[in-house]
Amino acid sequence: MNIKLLNKISAHGTERFDRKKYVVSDAVENADAIMVRSASMHDMTFDSSLRAIARAGAGVNNIPVEKCAEKGIVVFNTPGANANAVKELTVAALLLASRDIYAGVQWASTLTENVAATVEKGKSKFAGVELRGKTLGVIGLGAIGVLVANAAVSLGAIGGMVANTALELGMKVIGFDPFMSVDAAWRLSSAVEKAVNFDEIYERSDYITLHVPATKETKGMINSETIAKMKNGVRIVNIARADLVNEADIKAAIDQGKVAKYVVDFPTEATVGVPGIITIPHLGASTEESEDNCAVMAADQLIDYLENGNIKNSVNYPTVVLDRGNCSRICLLHKNIPAMISSVATKLAGRGLNIEHMQNASKGEYAYTVVDVDEKIPDDIVNDCLAIDGMIRVFAINN
Catalytic residues: 241, 269, 282
Residue of 74, 66, 218, 207 whose CA lies nearest to 142: 218
Residue of 188, 192, 87, 173 whose CA lies nearest to 133: 173
What are the Cα distances from residue 144, in Å, to 81, 138, 272, 356, 399? 10, 10, 26, 40, 40
DSSP 321-384: -----SSEEEEEEEE--TTHHHHHHHHHHHTTPPEEEEEEEEETTEEEEEEEESS---HHHHHH
Backbone angles phi, psi at 138, to 5 degrees: -105, 115
Question: Residue 241 and residue 183: Cα distance in Å, rounded?
Answer: 23
Backbone angles phi, psi at 149, to 5 degrees: -60, -45
Question: Residue 394 and residue 167: Cα distance in Å, rounded?
Answer: 54
Cβ partners under 8 Å of residue 162, min gap 6: none
Question: Residue 323 and residue 305: Cα distance in Å, rounded?
Answer: 12
Residue of 228, 88, 183, 202 whose CA lies nearest to 139: 202
Q: Which 3 state secondary structure label does DSSP give 51?
A: coil
Q: Which 3 state secondary structure label does DSSP give 175?
A: strand
Q: Is residue 302 a contact partner of residue 52, using CB atoms and an 8 Å limit?
A: yes
Question: Residue 32 and residue 303: Cα distance in Å, rounded?
Answer: 11
Question: Residue 77 and residue 53: Cα distance in Å, rounded?
Answer: 9
Cβ partners under 8 Å of residue 298, min gap 6: 9, 13, 35, 54, 55, 56, 76, 78
Q: Is residue 361 a contact partner of residue 336, using CB atoms and an 8 Å limit?
A: no
DSSP E strand boundaries for 191-272: 193-194, 207-210, 234-238, 259-264
